[in-house]
């Protein structure tokens, strides 16, 4: 991806020790980016860092440890961030089988899969603006739906991890539209995608395997992050490196309400 300066472009990938996140980090590093892998566990992060460096042939890859389900560490990462940020890939997600809450009392899937993406976009907006043209890629899913704006944290509904996951991925796709509108004239684009289906802790928790390799599953997010012809594309949903129809994008009122709710956290 071209930058408006001569220095190497810089990317963040969250959930970068996961199956798809690792392949995204390696793919973006191979494309010539300095990559920061955001992970939450030191040992898993170190193993993944070694793998990403080997797979990409790049030593310009580093790790930051951050629990993305909590606002404070996300904003602390942005506060200590130095220099440019050309690409942010929000990819970390979780689908625990029973309902759990963060120390702040937020249901964990909503906190990680939805607010984690929102907090990263808000916290890194100044760095992205400084580096514009810049991009955000929100890894969502075709497996999306059942969003209930009156019960985002499954306080009224009986918790079901699959339903909570589908809701969170619908929210990621809708919030992509909200941020694209918010950032219309900023030089920051934001798009969402279905990656691909790969066997992972997350897919197994949801009861399915996944027939694609991690690299196949990472192809669309890597392409969205690096393809120069997409420089002006924003607010769209993609699958298989192609634009895909997103039924949720037409829900203008729902998008505005969800955006307003998330802004309160
Ligand atoms: N796999 C599929 O078939 C599939 C299909 C459609 C969409 N997706 C999407 O692809 C993305 C990646 O999924 P995956 O299949 O690669 O899952 P995965 O292997 O389970 O990876 C998930 C990653 O998110 C991290 N994470 C979870 N909670 C976190 C937190 N609070 N703070 C920081 N990191 C956290 C995990 O870290 P730990 O290892 O420390 O838990 C892990 O690195 C997700 O957004 C998912 O919705 C996947």
Q: What is the mean pLDDT of each run of 10 residues along the chain (265 residues)?
A: 67 98 98 98 98 98 98 98 98 98 98 99 98 98 98 98 98 98 97 98 95 98 98 98 97 98 98
Residue of 108, 202, 238 to test ligand 1 pocket, by largest number of atoms within 8 Å of CB: 202
Q: Is 151 helix (H, G, I), strand (E, B) or coil?
A: coil
CA 31, distance to chain mean position in Å, is: 19
**What backbone phi and psi angles, to 5 degrees, belong to 12?**
-115, 135
What distance in angstroms lies between residue 20's CA and the mean position of ligand 1's atoms? Answer: 7
The whole-model pTM stands at: 0.98
Class of the 10-263 domain?
A: alpha beta
**What backbone phi and psi angles, to 5 degrees, belong to 131?**
-100, 0
- pLDDT for residue 1: 52
What distance in angstroms lies between residue 6's CA and the mean position of ligand 1's atoms? Answer: 33
Would you call 165 a catalytic residue per the annotation? yes
Residues 6+ apart with CB under 8 A from 158: none
Q: Which atom of ligand 1 is nearest to the CA of 165?
A: 47
Residue with tokens 């390696």: 26
214-226 helix and 19-30 helix, angle to the nearest 10 degrees = 50
d(CA 102, CA 112): 9
Long-range contacts of 177-184 (CB under 8 A, 24+ apart): 177/235, 177/248, 177/249, 177/255, 178/255, 178/256, 178/258, 178/259, 179/121, 179/136, 180/234, 180/235, 181/235, 183/125, 183/234, 184/234
240: its two tokens: 């298989």
- Taking residue 181's Cβ as centre, other Cβ atoms within 10 Å add up to 15
Name all residues whose Cβ lies below 6 A of ligand 1: 15, 17-21, 39-41, 44, 67-69, 91-94, 112, 139, 141, 143, 169, 194-195, 197-198, 200-203, 210
What distance in angstroms lies between residue 200's CA and the mean position of ligand 1's atoms? Answer: 8
d(CA 174, CA 118): 11
**Among positive and negative, which fits the CA dihedral 111, 112, 117, 123?**
positive
Q: Give the residue among 145, 161, 156 at the shortest CA–CA distance from 93.
A: 161
Q: Give the residue among 83, 84, 23, 85 at the shortest CA–CA distance from 55.
A: 23
- pLDDT for residue 7: 84
Sheet with strand 134-139: strands edge to edge: 61-65, 34-39, 10-14, 87-90, 134-139, 188-193, 237-239, 242-243
């Amino acid at each position: 991806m071209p930058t408006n300066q001569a220095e190497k472009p810089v990317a963040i990938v969250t959930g970068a020790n996961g199956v798809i996140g690792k392949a995204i980090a390696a793919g973006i590093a191979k494309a010539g980016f300095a990559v920061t892998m955001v992970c939450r566990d030191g040992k898993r992060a170190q193993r993944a860092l070694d793998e990403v460096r080997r797979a990409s042939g790049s030593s310009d890859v580093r790790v930051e440890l951050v629990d993305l389900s909590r606002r404070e560490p996300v904003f602390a990462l942005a506060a200590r961030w130095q220099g440019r940020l050309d690409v942010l890939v929000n990819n970390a997600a979780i689908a625990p089988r029973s309902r759990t809450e963060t120390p702040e009392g937020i249901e964990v899937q909503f906190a990680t899969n939805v607010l984690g993406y929102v907090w990263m976009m808000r916290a890194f907006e100044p760095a992205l603006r400084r580096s514009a043209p810049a991009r955000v890629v929100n890894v969502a899913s075709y497996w999306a739906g059942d969003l209930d704006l009156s019960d985002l944290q499954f306080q009224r509904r009986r918790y079901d991890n699959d339903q909570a996951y589908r809701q969170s991925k619908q929210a990621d796709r809708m919030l992509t539209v909200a941020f694209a509108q918010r950032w219309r004239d900023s030089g920051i684009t934001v798009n969402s995608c279905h990656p691909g289906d790969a066997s992972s802790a997350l897919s197994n928790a949801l009861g399915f395997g996944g027939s694609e390799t991690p690299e196949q599953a990472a192809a669309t997010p890597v392409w969205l992050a690096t393809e120069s012809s997409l420089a002006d594309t924003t607010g769209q949903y993609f699958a298989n490196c192609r634009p895909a129809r997103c039924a949720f994008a037409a829900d203008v009122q729902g998008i505005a309400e969800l955006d307003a709710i998330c802004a309160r956290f």
